[in-house]
Amino acid sequence: MTFLESVSSPADLRALSLAECEVYAKEIREDLVATISRTGGHLGPNLGVVELTFALHRVFESPADTILLDVGHQSYVHKYVTGRRDRFATLRQRGGLSGYPSREESEHDVIENSHASTSLSWADGIAKAHQLRGEDDRWVVAVIGDGALTGGVAWEALNTIAADDSRPPRKLVIVINDNGRSYAPTVGGMAAHLDSLRASNSYEKLLSWGKERLQQSGPPGRAAYTAMRGVKRGLRDMTADAQTGIFDELGLKYIGPVDGHDQEAVERALQLAKDFEGGPVVVHTVTRKGFGYGPAIEDEVDQFHAVGVIDPITGKSQPSTGRSWTSAFGDAITDLARGREDIVAITAAMLDPVGLSGFRDEFPERVFDVGIAEQHAVASAAGLSYGGLHPVVCLYATFMNRAFDQVLMDVALHRQGVTFVLDRAGVTGPDGASHHGIWDMALLQAVPGLRLAAPRDAERLVEELGEAVGVEDAPTVVRFSRGKVGTEISHLRRTDDGADVLAEVPEGLSADVLIVSVGALADRALAVRQRLADAGIGATVVDPRWALPVPESVQSMAQVHRLAAVIEDGIRTGGIGSRLRQELRADDSTVGVVELGVPDVFLPQGTREEVLDYAGLTVEAMTEQILSRLPRTP
């Protein structure tokens, strides 16, 4: 029986020797490569935390001790250890194993949101709760990456944790998983500081000194005993007194840097942190993404941070067919920048994933990666705009949630011309609830003066991005989907205020339904029109192009139909359909509105098609909803 088969709990792992753990680590890495090559997922991060995860579960006792994994994409090894290995064939599939921690799966999982930098705040709160409830035997361990430490909320938490003077001190350990990267190499002052600590290597030097003394002392005896006491005393002194830059200045005790792939060393460091009775301790481990898998190590872009289906031997992915929305945007923004020297780009640790690599190569001085700091990115963009430039802030749609206040109060209130490009908008698929980009339209329609475009194809993306960067006194947003761009969908005519009529009422039928198609669902809107026509119901299809505010021409068209149906891949509560309803009500219109959007729930994982089906956005389901809501003729 392999260790993969025999280890189904942290207790089983604690029963293994270090030599057996080494074999188990090899088995897990091989199994990760074999499994993720079929399902896709976060391969590099998990290959890099095998020994660290083992050490955490051998020194601490989850779930009595709470282990918090920041971001959570590195939780696969944790899932192996906590008894979920047999479900990995279903990873990131509908009804299968989540690619992030999930409370439904295990009592060992806590944080599900997969948005970076929040683990330290969770740890602070849980540790306080333990203390107030008299649970003084329970530890809280937060594992946070060097990339996540670039996020502002992490430093807000560190400020609070460092100021804690409670007695007895709360039992809190912060483990830095330092692999020098988020998606790409980590940027900023914190990264430079960790580099300097890594270079000092004081902890590892002391361990090496101790091992040499032991080897020189010969058989166990007085010399060996003295050498070991010296090592232990040195480690204890480091924990209590070492001057370690920013952590010391904050008042946090620091152990490190530790080789994160030396399980014995990591366990020793964690045990020292656990034994220290003077307050929170930082344990700095140095790991390498993709460790143990040659193709990942050799990948200079992101070391297989996230992969699709790949060849497990070579690491090569299947040939891509079709053009992605992201690449279409990347080409468009680079082309615009050639003609406008004032255009600059900002991203939050996701330069390549949002399509800015070409822009960076051509205009390196005009692209700014601020780390995982969306709020700072947006406020800084306001300053860039005030300084005479036109910033384009490029984020995943789900991460725009974090910067809403800055959009509202720093950009819109000050009437700064800033363009926001939201990749992965709408239903995204296998990454689950927190990665679907379904909240942006509902949130952003509350921002005065903001305009939002949702292109239906690549041609409209280029067109609408050009219009967006032409606005210099208000925020503009261009949102688009994940995956491949469909075929071009031409329009019959364009209204004076920029809306595109894609299809008129079929000859011989009445103007019964106005279908308002927002973004990449235009092909479905046209299919719904055809189904309605087959049922004897006439429908017009219009793409507003600029969905916020709703063009007046769309409002006027709605009033000459019996019903308006708005198809959008954002939440329908407060979405574009809701906005159209408000505008029609303000005009005393009696035209009804059917809001065909995403329900106000956290959507599950699955393929994009499966999740759209779950949300009721199939052609069949939308047609039925329209027919059921269509007013009866007198």
Q: Is residue 489 part of a domain?
A: no
Domain boundary among 449, 479, 509: 479
Question: Which tokens in the block code for residue 275?
Answer: 């034994």
Q: Which residues contact 341 (CB under 8 A, 6 or more apart)?
A: none
What span, in angstroms and rounded, lies between the C-alpha atoms of 359 and 486?
Answer: 24
DSSP designation for 474? S
Return the amino acid letter for 578.
Answer: S
Asked if 416 contacts 447 with a C-beta cutoff of 8 angstroms, the reply is: no
Higher pLDDT, 317 or 157: 157
Residue 439 has pLDDT above 60, yes or no: yes
Q: Is residue 316 part of a domain?
A: no
Q: Is residue 313 part of a domain?
A: no
Q: Are residues 40 and 111 in the same domain?
A: yes
Q: Is residue 101 part of a domain?
A: yes
Q: Tell me the three state secondary structure of residue 67.
A: strand
Q: Which residues contact 72 (CB under 8 A, 6 or more apart)?
A: 100, 101, 111, 112, 113, 114
With cut-offs at 50, 70 and 90, classify the pLDDT of residue 319. Answer: confident
State how far the alpha carbon of 267 is from the alpha carbons of 54, 69, 283, in Å: 9, 17, 11
What span, in angstroms and rounded, lies between the C-alpha atoms of 342 and 389?
Answer: 5
CA 20, 26, 32, 34 torsion-angle sign = negative
Q: Is residue 129 part of a domain?
A: yes
Q: Is residue 484 part of a domain?
A: no
What span, in angstroms and rounded, lies between the C-alpha atoms of 297 and 280?
Answer: 34
Asked if 622 contacts 530 with a C-beta cutoff of 8 angstroms, the reply is: no
Q: What is the pLDDT of residue 196?
A: 63
Q: What is the mean pLDDT of residues 237-246?
A: 52
What span, in angstroms and rounded, lies between the C-alpha atoms of 438 and 429?
Answer: 12
Q: What is the mean pLDDT of residues 528-553?
A: 97
How many structural domains does the chain have?
3
Average pLDDT, the chain: 89
Q: Show the DSSP H helices in 538-601 as ranges.
A: 552-558, 576-586
What span, in angstroms and rounded, lies between the C-alpha atoms of 580 and 592?
Answer: 10
Residue 94 has pLDDT above 50, yes or no: yes
Q: What is the mean pLDDT of residues 574-581?
A: 95
Higher pLDDT, 633 or 311: 311
Return the amino acid letter for 512.
Answer: D
Q: Which of 170, 268, 366, 402 is catalytic?
A: 402
Q: What is the pLDDT of residue 84?
A: 95
Asked if 359 contacts 337 with a C-beta cutoff of 8 angstroms, the reply is: yes
Q: Which residues contact 419 (CB under 8 A, 6 or more apart)?
A: 390, 391, 392, 393, 465, 468, 469, 471, 475, 476, 477, 478
Annotated ligand binding at 57? The verdict is: no
402 is catalytic: yes
Q: What is the pLDDT of residue 201?
A: 56
Q: Which of 27, 105, 112, 374 is catalytic?
A: 374
Q: Are residues 233 and 349 in the same domain?
A: no
Annotated ligand binding at 374? The verdict is: yes
Expressed in percent and rounded to 5, the helix, strand and coil fractions of the chain are: 45, 15, 40
Q: Are residues 120 and 211 in the same domain?
A: yes
Tens of pLDDT, residue by residue over 541-568, are 999 999 999 999 999 999 999 999 999 9
Residue 508 has pLDDT above 80, yes or no: yes
Residue 238 has pLDDT above 70, yes or no: no
Asked if 379 contacts 410 with a C-beta cutoff of 8 angstroms, the reply is: yes
Q: Is residue 309 part of a domain?
A: no
What span, in angstroms and rounded, lies between the C-alpha atoms of 305 and 312?
Answer: 15
Asked if 429 contacts 396 with a C-beta cutoff of 8 angstroms, the reply is: no
Q: What is the mean pLDDT of residues 237-253?
A: 64
Which stretch of 205-219, 267-281, 564-578 has the lowest confidence by average pLDDT? Answer: 205-219
Residue 224 has pLDDT above 50, yes or no: no
Tens of pLDDT, residue by residue over 352-380, are 999 999 999 999 999 999 999 999 999 99
- Percent of the chain surpassing pLDDT 90: 72
Q: What is the pLDDT of residue 195?
A: 62
Asked if 254 contacts 247 with a C-beta cutoff of 8 angstroms, the reply is: yes
For residue 355, the domain's CATH number is 3.40.50.970
CA 15, 21, 24, 25 torsion-angle sign = positive
Asked if 33 contacts 296 with a C-beta cutoff of 8 angstroms, the reply is: no
Tens of pLDDT, residue by residue over 259-275, are 999 999 999 999 999 99
Question: Which tokens in the block code for residue 449?
Answer: 């003066």
With cut-offs at 50, 70 and 90, classify the pLDDT of residue 243. Answer: very low
Least Cα distance to 328 among 469, 483, 452, 454 occurs for 483
Q: What is the mean pLDDT of residues 520-535?
A: 96
Q: What is the mean pLDDT of residues 148-169?
A: 89
Q: Is residue 113 part of a domain?
A: yes
Q: Are residues 514 and 463 in the same domain?
A: no
Q: What is the mean pLDDT of residues 438-453?
A: 96
Q: Tell me the three state secondary structure of residue 287.
A: coil
Annotated ligand binding at 300? The verdict is: no
Q: What is the pLDDT of residue 415?
A: 98
Annotated ligand binding at 293? The verdict is: yes
Higher pLDDT, 166 or 451: 451
Residue 611 has pLDDT above 90, yes or no: yes
Residue 318 has pLDDT above 80, yes or no: no
Q: What is the pLDDT of residue 15?
A: 97
With cut-offs at 50, 70 and 90, classify the pLDDT of residue 193. Answer: low
What span, in angstroms and rounded, lies between the C-alpha atoms of 460 and 601?
Answer: 30
Region of residue 447 (left: phi > 0; alpha: psi -120 to 50; beta: else)? beta
374 is catalytic: yes
Q: Which residues contact 33 (CB under 8 A, 6 or more apart)?
A: 43, 47, 293, 312
Q: Are residues 290 and 329 in the same domain?
A: no
Least Cα distance to 468 among 500, 437, 498 occurs for 498
Domain boundary among 437, 455, 479: 479
**CB contact burial 118-142 (16+ within 10 A = b; e otherwise):** bbbbbbbebbbebbeeeeeebbbbb
Annotated ligand binding at 78? The verdict is: no
Least Cα distance to 363 among 380, 395, 340, 394 occurs for 340
Domain boundary among 452, 479, 506: 479
Domain that holds residue 170: 3-294
Q: Are residues 431 and 549 in the same domain?
A: no
Q: Are residues 55 and 157 in the same domain?
A: yes
Annotated ligand binding at 147? The verdict is: yes
Q: Are residues 413 and 550 in the same domain?
A: no
The total of other beta-carbon atoms located within 10 Å of residue 196's CB is: 11
Q: Which residues contact 121 (CB under 8 A, 6 or more apart)?
A: 153, 156, 157
First vs last C-alpha separation in the chain: 75
State how far the alpha carbon of 331 is from the alpha carbons of 180, 362, 364, in Å: 29, 11, 15
Q: Are residues 465 and 501 in the same domain?
A: no
Q: What is the pLDDT of residue 228?
A: 46
Return the amino acid letter for 140.
Answer: V
Q: What is the pLDDT of residue 308?
A: 84
Q: Tell me the three state secondary structure of residue 164.
A: coil
Higher pLDDT, 144 or 241: 144
Q: Which of 289, 424, 524, 545 is catalytic?
A: 289
Least Cα distance to 577 among 566, 561, 592 occurs for 566
The widest CA-to-CA distance across the chain, in whole angstroms, is: 104
Annotated ligand binding at 34? The verdict is: no
Question: Which tokens in the block code for residue 574?
Answer: 């407060």
Q: Are residues 150 and 269 in the same domain?
A: yes
Which stretch of 88-102, 179-193, 570-584 has the lowest confidence by average pLDDT? Answer: 179-193
Q: Are residues 201 and 332 in the same domain?
A: no
Q: What is the pLDDT of residue 634?
A: 57
Residue 241 has pLDDT above 50, yes or no: no
Higher pLDDT, 432 or 261: 261
With cut-offs at 50, 70 and 90, classify the pLDDT of residue 251. Answer: confident
Q: What is the pLDDT of residue 189?
A: 64
Q: Which residues contact 8 (CB under 8 A, 6 or more apart)?
A: 83, 85
Q: Are residues 473 and 509 in the same domain?
A: no
